[in-house]
Amino acid sequence: GRDFGAWLVTIARNLVADHFKSSRFRLEVTTGEMLDANEVERSPEDSVLESLSDTLLLDAVRRLSPQQQECATLRFLQGLSVAETARVMGKNEGAVRALQYRAVRGLARFLGDKGDKRE
């Protein structure tokens, strides 16, 4: 004694609801979209600040002695150990440590001078 069409609509509605609730249906995000979502777009200000930092650092490195420049480049940019740097430079490890120390102190002094002028 009930409407056959209403009965079919109810069945269809329940099937659709079950489908969306079931474990077969998941909100899937492709790996490419996940990687893109994690990336933070850099602002123009960040780019300018990074460029200024790079420029200041390069200027400071240029003010070091040639041996200090070579030591800093080998140790920090190329990632060589103290022993490897000593072999490349033809020096003992103690001399390389001293050069590295003087280079780092010089960079700190040069960058500190630049920082004071900007304020």
Instruction: Report the C-alpha gap between 106 and 64 in whole angstroms.
Output: 7
Q: pLDDT value at position 15?
A: 83
CATH of the domain at 15: 1.10.10.10
Instruction: Report the C-alpha gap between 116 and 62 in whole angstroms.
Output: 19
Give CA separation, 108 vs 18, 111, 119, in Å.
66, 5, 17
Instruction: Report the C-alpha gap between 68 and 62 in whole angstroms.
Output: 10
Residues of the chain with pLDDT under 70: 1, 23-40, 48, 113-119
Tokens read off for 110? 């040069």
Give the three-state DSSP class for 41: coil
| Domain ranges, residue 30 | 4-118
In tens, the pLDDT along 49-70 reads 777 777 888 888 889 999 999 9
Domain count, the chain: 1
